[in-house]
Amino acid sequence: MNLSFKLKVNRSVRERHSNLVLALDLPPDKPSLLLSKSMRILKKVHPHVCAVKINHHLVLPLGLFNGVQKILKFANDQELPTIMDCKINDIGSTNRIIAEHYYNAGFDAVIANPFVGWEEGLQPVFEVAKQMNKGVILLVYMSHKGVEEGYGQTILDLETKKQLSQYRVFAQKALSWNADGAVVGATYPDKIKEVYAVLGKNVPIYSPGVGAQGGDIDLPMKAGARYLIVGRTVMLATDPVKTLKSVKKVAERYLEE
């Protein structure tokens, strides 16, 4: 059965009783070691996460249709949804090709940057996703310290002619474009709360930045995040399973019944 991305994640949450997304983020190393480390950790922790996120840490050294395929195959065999954190951010024709490559490689969803707008921007990505029954998650507010300079700036909204924070406009776009998710950093629970006020339960919030970047576990969940993205805290831990389980124990209190 070819489930949509949202349904795949919902099923995974129910079966694994987890609202954690594992980010396979590892520091630079030999491709063979990156692959073996990633696979070793993924095989240990996959029963405790609802999805896996991969970014350029692995795609660049391993190759999209080479080493990364082994990770995607394992995840697919476990019915574990996969997200490509490529932050699509180009003109429409290029964005379409980027999305097609990642979807054809086996990813269930991509992350895209709403800064490029809809027409000749992200519209082609959403069209391809619909055709292939895949997902698109929008980057609404990042987790690093300099995020305020871009996503936090005050702008004049072209539709309402009112001054709004950039991230609030992006949240509105995630809703109107029917995105499959919105990324808001766990390091900014106040922003999560504001974005959730716009999205409600219509568009789930994925929140990165727990642990290594200083993000709390309780605060983002209380503010409205549905999923926590955990990366270096687990990937660099001496005991990844133990570390992930400790995060899960707190986060699962907020699982929706």
Domain with residue 88: its CATH number is 3.20.20.70
What does residue 89 show for φ and ψ, rounded to 5 degrees? -155, 60
| Start-end of H helices in the chain | 5-16, 31-45, 56-62, 68-77, 92-105, 123-132, 166-176, 189-199, 218-223, 232-235, 240-251
> Would you call 43 a catalytic residue per the annotation?
no
How far, CA to CA in Å, does 96 sit from each of 90, 128, 248?
9, 7, 36
Assessment of whether the complete model's pTM goes beyond 0.75: yes
The two three-digit tokens of residue 95, written as one number: 């964005």
pLDDT in tens, 18-68: 999 999 999 999 999 999 999 999 999 999 999 999 999 999 999 999 999
Tally of domains in the chain: 1
**CA distance linking residue 257 with residue 236, whole number of Å:** 32
Q: What is the pLDDT of residues 67-115, one digit of tens each?
A: 999 999 999 999 999 999 999 999 999 999 999 999 999 999 999 999 9
Task: Please give the residue range of the domain that contains residue 86.
Answer: 5-254
Give dist(CA 84, CA 106) in Å, integer.
Answer: 10
Adjacent-strand bridge partners of 111: 137
Q: Which of 6, 44, 87, 222 is catalytic?
A: 87
